[in-house]
Amino acid sequence: MIDNTNSDTGQTPQNSSRLATVMQVLPAMVTGGVERGTVEMAEAIVKAGGRAIVVSAGGPMVHELTRVGAEHVEMNVESKNFFIIRKNATRLEKMIKQESVDLVHARSRAPAWSAYWASKRTHTPFITTFHGTYSHQNPMKRWYNSVMTKGERVIAISSFIAGHMRKIYGVRREIIRVIHRGVDLFRFDPEKVTAERLVKLSTQWNIPDGVPVVALPGRLTRWKGQLVFIDAIAKLERKDICCLLIGSDQGRSEYRKELVKRIKHHNLEGVITIVDECTDMPTAYMLSDIVVSASTDPEAFGRVVCEAQAMGRPVVATDHGGARETVIEDHTGWLCKPGDSETMSQAIAKGLNLSEEKREKMAGQAMKHIREGFSKDAMCSKTLEVYNEVLSLEN
């Protein structure tokens, strides 16, 4: 078992009767929500007295695993090639035996198949986290996705995802555990953002003094809704604002050109800027007066919406998916119709027209909302409880 009593304080238990070894498996340790959650859980496992092993194809975030005391094993588990998946299952089976792994936690489909088969062969408890809706238009796709429902417990990152699993895959309600993704409140703390950081990023992005800033963070991909956002800003008919598209195109150069063309079409070159990737998102949120999530498809959870609220920023999000669980209408932000620039424009206008008193009140409500319901500590603690629940079934 893992002693979860001190996981939030960072103190390692002194009298754990049994220190469990947990293996998390995912495609690669690149920047993203799945990877961030993996690091956070690895740290929680170590702090709670367990041993954390992560298997992936490697990547820039491996050093973060080492920093928190976890062990990383590099393996080509990101491959979707059937023969490699089968070979990886044999490798994981051997590793589970050699390292006395007590529980396997899979976070993505291709590595989940390898981990599932290895767990079955070794009779090792197996759980999954269902991170997205995944494409499920045909039976073959649904079969491939179904491995994410084969855990003895299946963690859904929102109630929206839990409902999706029940509807599409018929997952039994009793094995689902809804655990919302959590915000690192130590990092996303308004008090920790210095004036120097604000000046540096503001200068880098050439933000004019004294103008309201509206930000849409998210990689440049069509379903994130940047085109809808540009049209919504055009409908405001204001030139006295600064709007930022924060995110890399990740090689989608044609889509980036389309965004630039749409900005020019509305004569908004001096209003909307694409600023690419940002390594200091707490400061980016603090520079913003409003943070927008414009996704045209439902977000499984929507980390940006919660991070912005943790920084005391009012949010505008599309009315579907995880945002329905994380935004309190007119108290922490507003929801607008997906893909509809008119209702998005109206919601942004509400944010821009807030009085200082109302803005301060909303900031307090937003920070309290995230602290009480969507913290990293809560996410880790609840996940450790699931680990212990599954481990106890074996005893």
Mean pLDDT of 204-219: 95
| CATH number of the domain where residue 345 is located | 3.40.50.2000
Residue 37: pLDDT above 60?
A: yes
Report CA-CA distances (Å) from 387 to 16, 50, 96, 315. Answer: 15, 11, 16, 34
Split at pLDDT 50, 70, 90, the class of 274 is very high
AA letter at 214 = V
Domain check: are 61 and 198 in the same one?
Answer: no
Domain assignment of residue 341, yes or no: yes
Question: What total number of domains does the chain contain?
Answer: 2
The pLDDT, as a whole number, for residue 23 is 98
Domain assignment of residue 121, yes or no: yes
The pLDDT, as a whole number, for residue 395 is 64
Domain check: are 233 and 356 in the same one?
Answer: yes
Closest CA to 33 of 132, 134, 152: 132
Domain check: are 121 and 245 in the same one?
Answer: no
| Helix axis angle, 356-373 to 303-310, nearest 10° | 120
The pLDDT, as a whole number, for residue 1 is 65
Residue 16: pLDDT above 70?
A: no
CA 144 vs. chain centroid, Å, equals 22
The pLDDT, as a whole number, for residue 251 is 86
Domain check: are 238 and 379 in the same one?
Answer: no
Domain assignment of residue 12, yes or no: no
What percentage of the chain has pLDDT greater than the value 70? 95
Split at pLDDT 50, 70, 90, the class of 14 is very low
Q: Can you give the residue range of the structural domain that contains 196?
A: 190-373
Residues 6+ positions from 265 with CB-CB distance below 8 Å: none
Mean pLDDT of 50-77: 97
Domain check: are 379 and 350 in the same one?
Answer: no
- Is residue 116 within 8 A of residue 126, CB to CB? The reply is yes
Domain check: are 52 and 154 in the same one?
Answer: yes
Domain assignment of residue 4, yes or no: no
| Residue 21, beta-bridge partner list | 51
